[in-house]
Amino acid sequence: MPELRRDPIVGRWVIVDTDHPNHPKDYEYEPHRSHGGVCPFCYGNEAMTPPEIDAVREPNTHPNTPGWQVRVVANKFPALQIEGELEKRGLGLYDMSNGVGAHEVLIETPYHNKDIPDLLNSEIESFLSLYCRRALDLAKDKRFKYIMVFKNFGAAAGASLEHPHTQMVALPMVPKNANEEIKGAHNYFEYRDRCIFCDMIRQETQDSGRVVLENQHFICFCPFVSRFPFEIWIVPKKHNGLFCHMPAEEIPSLAAILKGAITKMKALFPNLSYNFLIHSSPVNGDGHTDGYHWHIEFMPKITRVAGFEWGTGFYIVSTPPELAAEYLKKAKI
């Protein structure tokens, strides 16, 4: 009998196929392939991108020239634009606003073909530190209410460029999905005076068999209510609402667990495309932030989302998270 599970935070139900679960070999997915060609994110092509906003570079090198390890530029095709005041207006029934916001691209490494598992821990640490530095800087702009950090790796996961990069979008409002999660966590907090994520960490470490990796500061597990098979979350053990307030000593732990998790994932699914996103509290005082706990959600792109999911918001998970965790635990780093 399949099992219906309900997400304790946002109340979403998912269907978990416990009778005939899929094993990693059962997934038919589009493998990530490198097509080469001229890449605006490689050394020597700095002039092809908008000017550099921030970078980690060798001493005595100049902005927009080679010599960087991590580089942040404005998105050449931004979904939102930085200039202007937010103007909201109505149009009959409808509401609209101009697209004020920031859209930046963080190029994680100068190496075109190195994904996170191929980088040194220190290299990962340096781009994670830059995530925080950029987010802190964007948060100074009072027009922005939410900063969303996400990575699309591989064309199947929506990446338009193959050189590894992360995107950062600052939004003038707290988006619906984030808002639901923040409200759900807030309601739980009001009721029990505890953070739901802290409770979740306690429950996961006690029984579950869903924990994949754990180190000094972070825990990585397959959530009880996964939306996608082999979905994993990486959560800091110490309560903290905003990822950009992450203490410096946690960064090496995060780099290690992120690298470990993606390495395991790619051992099960060669040439995988994936998305991950950082869920964090709003900035500039919008919304309920008590009882929210920042974390990373990682989704391997091995399934297709179809009409049922769109129509219901119900997800069908063809590998129970307990089984996924078992595979991931065994996978080699």
Partner 1 sequence: MPELRKDPIIGRWVIISTERAKRPDQFTTRAQGGPPEKDCPFCAGKESHAPAEIYALRPEHSRANAPDWEVRVVPSIAPFLRIEGELERKGEGLYDLMNGIGAHEIVIECNKHVDNMGDLSQEQIAKVMNVYIARMRDLEKDERFKYVLVFKNQGWSAGGGRVKHSRSQLIATPVNPKRVKEELVGARQYYEYHERCIFCDLIQQELEVKERLVLETENFIAVAPFAARFPFEVWILPKKHSCDFTSIDAEMRLGLGGIMKKVLAKLEKGLNNPPYNYILHTAPFRRGKAGYWKSIDYDYHWHIEIMPRLTRVAGFEWGTGFYICPLAPEAAAKFLREVEV
Helix (H) or strand (E) holding 104: strand 102-107
Shortest distance, position 292 Cβ to partner 1, whole Å: 15
All residues at 6 or more sequence positions from 116 whose CB lies less than 8 Å from its CB, including other chains: 108, 124, 164, 258, 259, 262
Question: Binding of partner 1 at residue 175 (CB under 8 A)?
Answer: yes
Q: Which of 45, 61, 122, 203 touches partner 1 (CB under 8 A)? A: 203
Q: Which of 112, 314, 326, 329 touches partner 1 (CB under 8 A)? A: 314
Question: Binding of partner 1 at residue 310 (CB under 8 A)?
Answer: yes
Q: Which of 4, 48, 120, 333 touches partner 1 (CB under 8 A)? A: 4
Scanning the structure block, which residue is given the tokens 């404005």?
A: 74
Question: Binding of partner 1 at residue 20 (CB under 8 A)?
Answer: yes
Q: DSSP string of 219-233? A: EEE--TT-SSTT-EE
**Binding positions for partner 1, 42-101, rule CB under 8 A:** 77-81, 84, 91-99
Shortest distance, position 299 Cβ to partner 1, whole Å: 7
Shortest distance, position 76 Cβ to partner 1, whole Å: 9
Q: Which is nearer to partner 1, 126 or 318 (CB)?
A: 318
Is the torsion defined by CA of 333, 263, 257, 118 positive or negative? positive
Q: Which of 44, 158, 209, 247 touches partner 1 (CB under 8 A)? A: 158
Q: Which of 59, 60, 306, 332 touches partner 1 (CB under 8 A)? A: 306
Per CB under 8 A, the segment of 15-23, 54-62, 66-74, 246-254 that binds partner 1 is 15-23
Neighbouring C-beta atoms of residue 220, cutoff 10 Å = 25
Q: Name residue 236's beta-bridge partners.
A: 218
Question: Binding of partner 1 at residue 40 (CB under 8 A)?
Answer: no
What is d(CA 43, CA 313) in angstroms, rounded to the nearest whole number? 43
Q: Which of 130, 147, 169, 222 touches partner 1 (CB under 8 A)? A: 169
Taking CA atoms, 284 is separated from 32, 85, 87, in Å, by 38, 16, 18
Taking CA atoms, 6 is separated from 151, 220, 226, 241, 281, in Å, by 27, 20, 10, 23, 23
Q: Which is nearer to partner 1, 38 or 94 (CB)?
A: 94
Shortest distance, position 311 Cβ to partner 1, whole Å: 4
What is d(CA 68, CA 61) in angstroms, rounded to the nearest whole number? 8
Q: Which of 105, 170, 195, 196 touches partner 1 (CB under 8 A)? A: 196
Question: Binding of partner 1 at residue 11 (CB under 8 A)?
Answer: yes
Dmax (CA) for the chain in angstroms is: 64
Shortest distance, position 13 Cβ to partner 1, whole Å: 6
Question: Binding of partner 1 at residue 173 (CB under 8 A)?
Answer: yes
**Binding positions for partner 1, 268-287, rule CB under 8 A:** 275-277, 279
Scanning the structure block, which residue is given the tokens 């996924």?
A: 324
**Binding positions for partner 1, 210-229, rule CB under 8 A:** 224-225
How do beta strands 13-16 and 315-317 pair? Answer: parallel
Q: Which of 49, 126, 167, 226 touches partner 1 (CB under 8 A)? A: 167
What is d(CA 85, CA 81) in angstroms, rounded to the nearest whole number? 10
Q: Which is nearer to partner 1, 40 or 67 (CB)?
A: 40
What is d(CA 23, CA 48) in angstroms, rounded to the nearest whole number? 43
Q: What is the CA radius of gyration of the chain?
A: 20
